[in-house]
Amino acid sequence: MKIDYISDLHLDFYVRHNGNEIKYKRNTVEFLETLLPDELGEVLVIAGDISHYNRQSYIALEYFSQVYERVFFVTGNHDYYLISSEQSKKYKNKSIEREFELDRMIESFSNVTRLFDYDVTEYEGVKFAGSTNWYPLTEFKDVNFFNSISNDSNLIKHMSISQCNYFESLCYDDLDEVDVIVTHVPPIIIDSHHKHGSTSCYLNELKELNAKHYVFGHCHEQNIYEKVDSKFYINALGYPNEWTHQMNPMDYEREKRIEFMKQWNKIKSFEVNN
């Protein structure tokens, strides 16, 4: 089975929130079309951070449900952000209300599943499980980073991240072996952690590896890692022009820059035996 994957779409940075529903949908879909690879896989996995607006996440999930046989996604930290006073009012200042609303909105899409609490869903003989994989806020430096530097503490309202982490850990402990695990927060240490010299709010290491394939996001990086017998895939689109942070455009000829940009702004894929 060919599985396509992407994360950290941050769609509202590419297509601004627009009161005109028709334009909003058209512009969002037009942008999503540019991300599609030449040859589609059967399944699409989205590892979180779709949009700050559920309406736009809905448009994306509806579009992908029409393009792919099956869509799996997890929510990222930004999918809980209440970024304006209108959003706070709409969701009664409770981030979890965004999750409830999105679940209700996508109820009618029979081929779209939000993975959470490591519940297992099987499709064509391949077992998928996942969850946001919230980072633990147990060490002082992490709590300090969360409260003083990360936006999460300001924009995720009335949700205890450490409780979410604790509950997810219990669920993960109960998980038997599956083929693909999807998380938003990285389950292993990756280059971004070394580069930025910090793991606070960017890592929740999963010690027991219960799957051959892990898909995740959160750090805006694109890479494939191997550890023991498992493979780890990250294909974070990130904010507009974030590809320029990965290569110094001044060091490359125009053609090479364009090629890199095209590669960066695409859904990637891997194969799973079924």
Give min distance, CB of 68 to Fe ion, in A: 22
Q: How far is the CB of 9 from Fe ion (least distance, A)?
A: 11
**Residue 186 within binding range of Fe ion, rule CB under 5 A:** no
Cα torsion 168, 172, 178, 183 to 10°: value is: 40
* Rg of the Cα atoms in the chain: 18
What mask of x and - would describe binding to Fe ion in positions 57 to 76, judged by CB under 5 A? -------------------x
Q: Output the residue with the shortest Cβ distance to Fe ion.
A: 218
Asked if 218 interacts with Fe ion (CB under 5 A), we say yes
Report yes or no: 187 and 181 within 8 Å, Cβ to Cβ.
Answer: yes
CB 35 within 8 A of CB 265: yes
156: DSSP letter: B
- Kindly tell me which of 114 and 218 has the beta carbon lying closer to Fe ion: 218
Q: How far is the CB of 252 from Fe ion (least distance, A)?
A: 28
Nearer to Fe ion, 123 or 134 (CB): 134
Strands 2-6 and 268-271: antiparallel
Is the Cβ–Cβ distance between 206 and 189 less than 8 Å?
Answer: no
In the set 51, 77, 150, 192, which binds Fe ion (CB under 5 A)? 77
Instruction: Match 């589609």 to its residue by tokens.
Output: 40
The 32-61 site mask, x for binding Fe ion (CB under 5 A), equals -----------------x------------
Shortest Cβ 201–Fe ion spacing (Å): 9
Using CB under 5 A, count the residues that bind Fe ion. 4
Identity of the residue, 129 or 237, whose beta carbon is nearer to Fe ion in the bound complex: 237
**DSSP string covering 197-263:** T--TTT----SS--EEEEEE-SS--EEEEEETTEEEEEEB--STTGGGGTS-GGGS-HHHHHHHHHH
Least separation, in Å, of the C-beta of 115 and Fe ion? 16
Sign of the torsion angle spanned by Cα atoms 260, 264, 267, 268: positive
Instruction: Write down the least CB distance from residue 219 to Fe ion, Å.
Output: 8
Question: Is 68 or 202 the residue whose CB approaches Fe ion more closely?
Answer: 202
Tell me what percent of the chain is helix, strand and coil, each rounded to the nearest 5. Answer: 35, 20, 40
Residues near Fe ion (CB under 5 A) are 49, 76-77, 218
